[in-house]
Chains A and B, each alone.
Chain A
Amino acid sequence: MTFVMAVCVAVVFGVSIYMLLGRELKGLAMGVFLLGHAANLCILAQSGSPVLPDGEGLKAPPVLSHGDYEAAAHGGEALSRMVDPLPQALILTAIVISFAVMAFLLTLIIVSARKTNTLDINELGKEQLPTPSQAH
């Protein structure tokens, strides 16, 4: 599974870099969006393969059942049949933040497109944007 994940990361990341290097702001936003996916998949891959070593299906989700409390506290067998909870916790935070960044970026694109009437990065560089003091 790790290899599949790695290929996914490679492709998604590569495409996102390709989009980021483009001249168009919308494509750039999509690139940022894909970058989030690539990073999350990469972190998730760090939890190792979700397939049990003996090939009997998948590991358990990181949720304890009622009988497991003592066993879990001492580690060992109960934990080895469970996927890693830490990468998931990290990704959960990352999803929310990447969404926030996404929303802000899209708003910025709308505002700059309204002001400058272009979505081309090279054109934007030539614009004489008002400085904050002149804006009002």
Chain B
Amino acid sequence: MPDQPVPVSSVMLMTAVFAPVAAGIITLFLPRKRTTLRVLISLAGMALAFGLVYAQVAQIAPTSAAGRAGTAVIPWIPVLNLNLAFLADGLGGFFALLVSGIGVLIVLYARGYFGDEPDDLYRFYPTLGFFATAMLGIVLADYTLLTLLFWEMTSISSFLLIGWDRYDKHAVKLAMQAFYTTGLGGLGLLGGILLFGLETDVWRWSEFLPAAGEDSPAWWLPEYGEISWTNPMLGAFLLMFFGAATKSAQFPFHYWLPGAMAAPTPVSAYLHSATMVKAGVFLVARLSPVFWALDVWPWLVIPLGAITMTMAALIAINQHDLKRIFAYTTVSQLGLLMCALGLGALKYTDHHNNSFSVINWDITQIANHAFYKAPLFIIAGALGHVASRDITQLNGVFKKQPAMCITLILAGFALAGLPGSISFQAKELFLYAIYHSYQTIGSWWLILMAAAIVTAVCNVAIFVRLTTTVLGLPGGMTADMGCPAHDDHAHHHHVDATGFWGSMMWVPAAVLVAFQFIGGIAPGVWEYFIRPFETNINYEGFQYLPSLGYILADTFKEGPSIPLICSMIAIACGLILGFLPVFRGAIKDVCDQIYPTVYWLAVTGGRRAFMLVQTGNFRTYTVMVLGAFLIGFAGSVLRDPRIIDPVYEAMSRGGEFWPGILLGAIIIVTALALPLTDSRVVRVLILGACGFAVVGMYLVYRAPDLALTQLMFEIISVLLFVLVLRLLPRDESKSRVPRWWRGLIAAAMGIAFGWMTIVAATTPRDHTLTEGLLLGEMFARHSYKGTELTAGRGGGGDNIVNVILVDFRGFDTLGEITVLALAALGVWSLIPRRRSPKV
């Protein structure tokens, strides 16, 4: 389709995807000292991406049919089903705005964080741009394989950014840990996409998703609940989910995310809280409208999310390093998002007999987390700069850094999900979803609710401790609280920026956290902006985003609802726990040992296996090769027992020519006699006898040329052996090691080889090619005169074998002569001389 003009929206979204990395590359050409210009160009790249995506979603409503259709295709590699097309539907469009929008703030924050350090900034902005492009690619790509491509790019950029300090071996190790873990998931995703694509021929998300308003899953899924374990769709889903679970740090793969905190804080705030780790959540949300129909979905996604959520919350409260605290709450929140998406597969029927999926406003859940977690990280990094990142060292820091601490407290308020922030509404939505799930999963919802309450309690307690600590109030953490936090070598010390750029250490956080409170206090504003992206607006009687006022009004009218009661219990317990002295240590996460253990097993086990196999002993290698061959042969015999038939057939016609049998007997007897004798001369003579019998066999097979050549070389060889025996030292007395295993392997190999000879020799030839039974029929026919095939040209010789050697396979003969010449040269150079000119 080269003649058709490329559609505008495709180019627009493609430009949006590649703008950040292009801006990053441009900054590489600037002189190192031009930091301000560098910041502005990077900023422009992110802002351009944001603007273009915004223009697209403003033009075409993301959740409308047009928005879900994807843009027109720009062909790239059509044969691999890999083309450039983009899909800015509700999910993708929202994520793209989130990535580019937070990207703008992170560009500013990085300038404040790294200070006026040209080297770090020189490297940082292109890498950040690379990541932003990869992330935008994931969320906007329409082709499944294009998503995968960008997915792997985020793993690479994450690796580069975690191992930012190239001289810190610990950081590099953690970067590898993250890379291997998410890379393994990427392989799973590749497998899932390929399996799905090959099975259904669906390679675009826009074809994958059900059409707008259509509730039923696509045609390739069988009826609800009837999918069997052998269905490739199930395998495709499990593989893709594996990719999502590793990327989004679900238990037990969550260990890489706290490890990734070795990265500079702008990276942690951007990649490891707001965007990249949500790629898995994004993917699961992408898959959900179709794979919700799988009966395995709720039983896999919900428990995994719930376990991750609860476990990470309990670990988070037992950490001292601010970044580790926030890393574990991030894992916890990712588990919550997974769990919420898992709940979407469940149905609820209300008293008006309306049936709906219990998921509601999932984009709000995702946005909510980004709007408080990124600020928390930003402030953690800022505090690490000016004071310490260890919470026990931060007592009373408010007096010195009031702006940062206020932002921290506000973001912590949202972390706790207290009323007034959008986080509260999001938590209510989640609790409602759990509550509504009881119709499908029965009493299991109580366990889910308990998990949610435990998580909320931990988050509230963390908020309480953060607040009391920075304000220096009683109940806060103090320096004598047990052991100091584990130093993860990530204290990047930089020259502190002052003035405008210095304020960039906390202003981006304040901007982000402002959205939390705008949404919380004025839900109408939030709804105005977020609603166009939401596809799951399901609850009857819950059509409006529940503001505090709405819930209160509802409560006064009908009494408090169960989710609200649970929420209040959680807040109350959290406040109490926050002031209690328990759970204040700094514990280690058991799962941190997973990667080092696997690594150790691979390295040590690999070395052991190497020592076992690579003995350096020639005979061991021979036995291994022969053993592998024998196993393969035995396998093929077992697979097709009819392979024995040609042997009987050949046996019945074995006695057709008695001189042949005689010669064969001589060959066999001489060969068998060889290992039985000890005398060197006798052995050589036996070897010669065997060779001459072979010459006789050549004659029986009417091969005069072979017989002549073999005769000549046999004589030379025997002479050579005799000569060599004279030059060699005498035999030492041999130690009599048991030889039965040698004999066994030799006998098995001999039988296998003889058997294969019969099978190969008696297999019917392809009769379409050869009229007769000659393998060399073509050569025979062209030996003297040609045919039409060769335009009448032939070899012009009577002896077909000779014609083959010099005409048809002349280059083989040339090679043979070369081998002979090289061997002669080798012998000549190796042979010891009697009189050497030197030495």
Contacts and interface: CB of A to CB of B under 8 A. Distances in A.
Answer yes or no: do A and B interact: yes
Interface of A: 1-15, 17-24, 26-27, 29-30, 33-34, 37-38, 40-42, 44-51, 55, 58-66, 69-70, 72-76, 79-80, 82-89, 91-93, 95-97, 99-104, 106-111, 113-114, 117-122, 125
A86 B769 CA distance: 15
Given A15-B674, A111-B832, A86 B654 contact: no
B780 A46 contact: no
A1 B804 contact: no
A105 to B, nearest CB: 9
A66 to B, nearest CB: 8
Interface string B732-768: 1010010000110111011101111110111000000
Contact of B773 (A48, A55, A62): A48
Interface stretch (B450-458, B491-499, B713-721): B713-721
B753 A13 contact: yes
A21 B698 CA distance: 28
A111 to B, nearest CB: 5
A55 B658 CA distance: 12
A34 B690 contact: yes
- In order of increasing CB-CB distance, the 4 nearest A-B pairs are A14-B750, A10-B754, A86-B776, A3-B654
A4 B660 contact: yes
Interface string B654-674: 101100110010011001101
B403 interface: no
27 contacts: A4-B661, A5-B757, A10-B750, A12-B667, A14-B753, A15-B674, A18-B675, A23-B619, A30-B683, A34-B674, A41-B667, A41-B694, A41-B757, A61-B704, A62-B703, A63-B798, A83-B702, A84-B776, A85-B779, A85-B783, A86-B775, A92-B706, A95-B709, A102-B717, A103-B824, A103-B827, A107-B826
A73 B785 contact: yes
A18 to B, nearest CB: 4
Interface residues of B, number: 108
Nearest to B817: A96
B84 to A, nearest CB: 53
Given A34-B671, A95-B709, A97-B819, A109 B749 contact: no
Contacts of B720: 102-103, 106
Given A95-B710, A111-B832, 6 more contacts: A2-B654, A20-B622, A23-B734, A80-B773, A86-B779, A88-B705
A63 B804 CA distance: 12
Contacts of A106: 720-721, 724
Interface in B804-839: 804-805, 809, 812-813, 816, 819-820, 822-824, 826-827, 830-832
Interface string B627-659: 000000000000000000001001101101100
B826 to A, nearest CB: 5
Given A61-B703, A61-B704, A84-B774, A109 B800 contact: no
B627 to A, nearest CB: 12
Most buried by B among A18, A41, A120, A122: A18
Nearest to B832: A114
Contacts of B623: 21
B668 A47 contact: no
B781 A79 contact: yes
B78 interface: no
B702 A13 contact: no
B777 interface: yes
Contact of A85 (B674, B731, B804, B827): B804
B617 interface: yes
Given A23-B619, A46-B760, A85-B801, A119 B656 contact: no
B451 to A, nearest CB: 62
B664 A5 contact: yes
Contact of A88 (B626, B706, B820): B706
A58 B619 contact: no
B727 interface: yes
B484 interface: no
Contact of A73 (B672, B754, B794): B794
B676 to A, nearest CB: 10
B25 to A, nearest CB: 47
B680 interface: yes
B783 A83 contact: no
Contacts of A4: 654, 660-661, 664
A102 to B, nearest CB: 6
Given A13-B750, A97-B816, A119 B729 contact: yes
Contact of B697 (A14, A41, A49): A41
B558 interface: no
